[in-house]
Amino acid sequence: MFENSKKVESSSNPSEYDEPNPSEAGSANAPLTRPPGVHRVCLPPRQTSVQKLRRRLLEIFFPDDPLHRFKDQTWFRRLVTGLQCSFPILKWAPHYSFKLLKCDVVSTREPGDSAGTKHSLKKTFSLTETGISYAKLANLPPIIGLYSSFVPPLIYSVLGSSHHLAVGPVSIASLVMGTMLSEAVSYTEEPALYLKLAFTSTFFAGLFQASLGFLRLGFIIDFLSKATLVGFMAGAAIIVSLQQLKGLLGIVHFTSKMQIIPVLSSVFNHRNEWSWQTIVIGVTFLALLLTTRHISSRRPRLFWISAAAPLTSVILSTILVVCLKSKLHDIQTIGQLPKGLNPPSAHMLLFTGGHLALTIKTGFTTGVLSLTEGIAVGRTFAALKNYQVNGNKEMVAIGLMNIAGSCSSCYVTTGSFSRSAVNYNAGAQSGVSNIIMAGAVLITLLFLMPLFHYTPNLILAAIIITAAVGLIDYEAAYKLWKVDKLDFVACLCSFFGVLFISVALGLAIAVSWDSVFKILLNVTRPNTVWLGNIPGTQIYQNRNRYTQAVRVPSFLILGIEAPIYFANSTYLQERILRWIREEEQWLASNDICDLRCVILDMTAVTAIDTSGLDMISELRKMLDNRSLKLVLANPVGSVMEKLHKSNVLELFHFEGLYLTVGEAVSDISSSWKDQP
Amino acid sequence: MFENSKKVESSSNPSEYDEPNPSEAGSANAPLTRPPGVHRVCLPPRQTSVQKLRRRLLEIFFPDDPLHRFKDQTWFRRLVTGLQCSFPILKWAPHYSFKLLKCDVVSTREPGDSAGTKHSLKKTFSLTETGISYAKLANLPPIIGLYSSFVPPLIYSVLGSSHHLAVGPVSIASLVMGTMLSEAVSYTEEPALYLKLAFTSTFFAGLFQASLGFLRLGFIIDFLSKATLVGFMAGAAIIVSLQQLKGLLGIVHFTSKMQIIPVLSSVFNHRNEWSWQTIVIGVTFLALLLTTRHISSRRPRLFWISAAAPLTSVILSTILVVCLKSKLHDIQTIGQLPKGLNPPSAHMLLFTGGHLALTIKTGFTTGVLSLTEGIAVGRTFAALKNYQVNGNKEMVAIGLMNIAGSCSSCYVTTGSFSRSAVNYNAGAQSGVSNIIMAGAVLITLLFLMPLFHYTPNLILAAIIITAAVGLIDYEAAYKLWKVDKLDFVACLCSFFGVLFISVALGLAIAVSWDSVFKILLNVTRPNTVWLGNIPGTQIYQNRNRYTQAVRVPSFLILGIEAPIYFANSTYLQERILRWIREEEQWLASNDICDLRCVILDMTAVTAIDTSGLDMISELRKMLDNRSLKLVLANPVGSVMEKLHKSNVLELFHFEGLYLTVGEAVSDISSSWKDQP
């Protein structure tokens, strides 16, 4: 019988929906006209499937409404705005002044400060030295690190929209590239092939980055949560520090694997290669560097100590090696570095052969990771100075920069947090600071290269270890533990994944934990809360949390705190039935009047699917059988629409719906008084 | 400066949290005491991590509170209840009466009705015939289908808790087993190995099912949504129907692959094997069967026509073949079936060798699928008769039934929808009906087997095609399209996945679309709605949906309709800033007073993670810079707790939190009046 009435009504349904305010048609079917104090639950305005799809796609791909600057403009202004969007340099270059140039050149907070030139010089050295160390992290020749500090900043200054982002090689991408490529090819055995693979990976990284931005898929990088990155960086830092034991102990034959077990066994299996001279000098400098780092972190005012320490160590150790050359024959040095600018490398890109999959994978991973860092850094400084950075546009800029880099002997670069922070603190005002930095590197490349000839490898190892140790953010990990246990598990997943399995798999495990388990767990087992009335108000709140909220006689009011999906509809049904059973037991044991109505507060049910709709109608039928009324309060727009389309509303005879819990309670209670 | 104050306060924080009502400590820090009309936002009652974990695990694994029957009972009652829970037969057997037995035996709605015996006989034949057809679906010898209709019902009657579930082979699991095993081993070439693999898969299916139930992981089957199953069944039905062309056309050499392209090419490449006698008889019977099905579906009162048709066809075609034996030499018949009960098959289980992975995969897939059907059928009939079926206990029962089955020459069985419906309609009252059915099969096995000797294979093919066509539920698919486009896509995914790729992969694609894309998409791009006040009330609703909701001057009130996670925190921040920008533009173009306060309605934000917390605090800082006040309304318990633990609350000076949007608006407006 029930089935029949459903069919008859459903045939008349589409026409109802054509009317401007469909809920009115619904309420006409309702047996009772509502009292004036009770508000009707409306359907959202009607939209066709195409309109809905369009709105949804706009929200996915263009949440920032990128064309809003073009609205209500003449065609000429639109052209100018378009060009400025593509090449942000056109936006700031016309307003660029000599005063700003001075800020950018000396990069000191007070222009004209005498320390300016000194800072500048120190920055150049520091750039050189981080460039070299990061290149070593990627198992690349040191000069590639310098090349990568020259071309990419120039390109970014034309295309990038952030004023403070300083680009160059960064630790995490260098590390990952080194790890992933070394697993397949050893630099010491096949340097030419390794170099080719590195450039090809850089090309793919750039390609991925640019296409992500171009296709407006930038939200992919959001899936690397901070928790994942904290664990990932700590794991990677430990692996890298252990890898550097090669340089610090003077070992010649070392594994190219990047898991903790082969690395440790490689260290201890080559004890005969340990060189005591290297160890003594290396450990001394490492201790020095770590001490200065510790002092600076304890007393922020002494930050210059740790800033100056690496450069000082490089100079000291080079002098030491030069002076004691005859005695310290065990110590390996960097050796001859070629003078001159970046040689072209487009002919070295390898798009055929067995390593294509590897380079694509490496490119994707390093590309995504370096994007994450670059975008996050850009956003941070933009937020500090109260301007906005467009994520998708930044991705295109970084991507093009890497593609150009791969053709001019550079490896993956991105916005670096440490460089940008130095830049910001020193007072840089615009993208010109990137050009200035590139100029400084240019001078180094052309004139200062011989100075590095006798720099020992061990000092680079010590600098890298110090930098890597700084990436282990145990305070952040502790905060994760304190605030959110599930995030802490994500952090542990990526930490142990990187340490024991591999970089790519570790990241994949952490991301899937994060997105699949954390989100699905919340959806699969949502909270249901028992609401009570706060006396004297229309507010209904969790009785467990607000002790002043009281039971409403004859009613059971439940709040469902999740969308209702296939994954939780069975659970929710069982849980609601259990709430009812427990409530009835309690009532029976206290001899209080019976339960007569169950109200589901649907405010937090932000979506529903067909399984959820089935659950609601089944629940209604079950409770009908037990002469219990089921009522829904405040379904959101999309839920209301689906309730309507699936004919579940008809089960409720268009009357079991209220705008608020308060109205439901007062209306139903008064209807009981009318018909006792 | 800000950083400092944060640190000082955070150190005193843990002690605050120890107090019974922690929000009071918070409010002591607030610069203003709140007016009496404004309610405080409470923290949830304090719980240790262990307590929280315990509650969470209880909710995941024991949402139904399985021990509630044991509460407040004597130890003897507890023992009895425990035994009854393990062996539900102990619960109903003592109350079993002769009257019930009569119902179960004749299974007619009115006991004593003269049609009883006839029904019973028809049911026996129908069981036999579906058993045989389903075994053919699984590419197994027909007798295995009969064996599988004998042992499992006996075991289920002891262990199962549903009163109406009738167990036996089912189409979907038979189909999947046939498909997956045939891809590796051909039954015609290696019958013994194929049989061993089938029993081993059945064993693993039972093992998986029992362990899922035992470990209370039953929610895994919830991930097969109805949308997925609709598409899956339609795709599988098409493949199976095409496979049956082998029997219908009389082809001898046929592919063992199960994708649509090889099957179709196999049909047309063996045109020389087509036998016109088989085709004529087969198509005639197929037309007959489809016509009766159509008539019955149009006129439900004539349901007995389609119920009787398969049996009639079997008898008719057998007689035809027996009479015209000399002329119809092309037609293949079932042939000799062994008489006698199930032979033991424990020695045929293969736990070594190269096919182990295949059997485990097949077992898992068929196990999960058959569980889905069995549990859904059990729940459906339980809901009709208003009793509850315990999902996890049913899983253990079905699992043990299959393990026992695999040792007695049965393949995967479960609760079958069609059998249970017949059972229910015929008036069965308890699990004894399963015993009676097993008895009927016993008689067939012992005495009636020779009757099937001359039954032609083509009639089985026709019956299977008719059954398979019935599995294509295009009405359900249309409803999915109408109600929920994303569910429809899930349906299409599984349909085309099964048709063109493979059963397992098709299901995997559909499940991951469902769970990953559907749920993640909703989380990645959540709705934000602009709320307005419904005049004369304290109700704030979506302005887009309720035309009567009006703008509140100087306020921008936004509802966030999703948990705030790493995956959407960046998006939400940008979206909120865009709302503010658009509102400010509108205000500026209309010369209305400025925007002064942004209220985020957090009612639907059911969870937050560390990235979300960072987003909130960053947003607060950004809006502070622009002299806009940011206020949160009604954060739920878990969100409130994390806001507190992560010190974000201190950013709000414990005052930017209100219980409802209405209180926030009235309190903030009145504070502006006090301090103009």
Q: What is the ipTM of this complex?
A: 0.77
Q: Which residues of B touch A395 (CB under 8 A)?
A: none
Which residues of chain B does A637 touch, with a Cβ-Cβ cutoff of 8 Å? 529, 542, 544-545
Pairing mode, strands A657-658 and A629-633 = parallel
Chain A residues whose CB is inside 8 A of the B52 CB are 485
Task: Return the CATH superfamily for domain A2-46+525-674.
Answer: STAS domain (3.30.750.24)
Better-scored residue on pLDDT, A335 or B9: A335
- The 8-class DSSP code of residue A447 comes to I
Asked if A49's CB is within 8 angstroms of B485's CB, the reply is yes
- Residue A118: pLDDT band with limits 50, 70, 90: very low
- Across the interface, of A386, A527, A622, the residue whose CB is closest to B606 is A527
The gap between the terminal CA atoms of chain A, to the nearest Å, is 28
Question: In chain B, which residues have their Cβ closer than 8 Å to the Cβ of A574?
Answer: 63-64
Residues near A2 by beta carbon (within 8 Å), at least 6 away in sequence: A621
Which residue of A512, A610, A648, A661 to mutate against B (max B Cβ within 10 Å)? A610
**Cα–Cα distance measured from residue B599 to residue B648, given in angstroms and rounded to the nearest whole number:** 16
The answer to whether residue A445 scores a pLDDT higher than 50 is: yes
B486 contacts on A by Cβ (under 8 Å): 609
The answer to whether A223 contacts B566, with C-beta atoms less than 8 Å apart, is: yes
CB contact under 8 A, A386 and B622: yes
Asked if A126 and A166 touch (Cβ cutoff 8 Å), the reply is no
Average confidence (pLDDT) over B21-49: 57
> CB–CB of A53 and B485 under 8 A?
yes
Q: What is the pLDDT of residue A7?
A: 35
Measured at the CA of B571, the angle between CA B567 and CA B576, to 5 degrees, comes to 140
Strand residue runs (E) in A290-332: none
Query: SS3 of A591, please?
Result: coil
Average confidence score pLDDT of chain B? 79
Residue spans in chain A of domains classed CATH 3.30.750.24: 2-46+525-674
For residue B169, pLDDT over 60 is answered with: yes
Report, as an integer, the average pLDDT of B531-542. 88
Q: What is the pLDDT of residues B417-436, one digit of tens each?
A: 667 766 676 666 677 778 88
Please tell me the distance from the alpha carbon of residue A409 to that of residue A399, in angstroms, as a whole number. 16
Tell me the mean pLDDT in the region A595-623.
89
DSSP string of B542-581? ETTT-TT-BPPTTEEEEEE-S-B-HHHHHHHHHHHHHHHH
Question: In this predicted structure, what is the pLDDT of residue A122?
Answer: 54
Chain B hits for A518, CB-CB cut-off 8 Å, are 565, 609
Residues of A in contact with B578 (CB under 8 A): 63-65
Q: What's the mean pLDDT in A327-331? A: 71
pLDDT at A17 over 80: no
Contact pairs from chain A to chain B, CB under 8 Å: 234
Calculate mean pLDDT across residues A527-544: 87
Is the pLDDT assigned to residue A18 strictly greater than 50?
no
Percent of chain B with pLDDT over 90: 10
For residue A588, pLDDT over 90 is answered with no
Which of B519, B581, B603 to mutate to probe the A interface, most A CBs <10 Å? Answer: B519
Calculate mean pLDDT across residues A597-610. Answer: 90
Question: Do A519 and B522 make contact, defined as CB atoms within 8 angstroms?
Answer: no
For A39, which of B63, B524, B539 is closest by C-beta distance? B539
Phi first, then psi: give them for residue B97, nearest 5 degrees: -120, 170
Query: Among partner residues A386, A524, A561, which is closest to B606 by beta-carbon distance?
Result: A561
Mean predicted confidence (pLDDT) in B366-384: 79
For the segment B617-644, the average pLDDT, to the nearest whole number, is: 87
Q: What percent of chain A has pLDDT over 70?
A: 85
3-state secondary structure of B168: strand
Mean pLDDT is lowest, of A362-376, A383-397, B31-45, B245-259, for: B31-45
Asked if the model's pLDDT at residue B207 lies above 50, the reply is yes
d(CA B340, CA A492): 59
Q: Which tokens sit at B293? A: 């099905």
Point out the residue among B226, B484, B520 whose CB comes nearest to the CB of A519.
B520
Tell me whether residues B622 and A566 touch, CB distance under 8 A: no
Q: Report percent pLDDT > 70 for chain B.
A: 85
Asked whether B202 and B411 are in contact (CB, 8 A), the reply is yes
Q: Which residue has the higher pLDDT, A100 or A498?
A: A498
Q: What is the pLDDT of residues B310-320, one digit of tens each?
A: 778 888 888 88
pLDDT at A22 over 70: no
How many angstroms away from the CA of B546 is the closest CA of chain A? Answer: 7
Q: Which pLDDT belongs to residue A25?
A: 38
Residues of A in contact with B646 (CB under 8 A): 479, 482-483
**Is A227–B566 a contact, with Cβ atoms under 8 angstroms apart?**
yes
- pLDDT the model gives residue B428: 66
Query: Quick one: pLDDT band at residue A427, thresholds 50, 70, 90?
Result: low
Q: What is the mean pLDDT of chain A?
A: 79
Nearest to B615 by CA among B643, B637, B638: B643
CA nearest B645 in A: which residue? A483
Nearest CA-CA distance, residue B561 and chain A, Å: 6
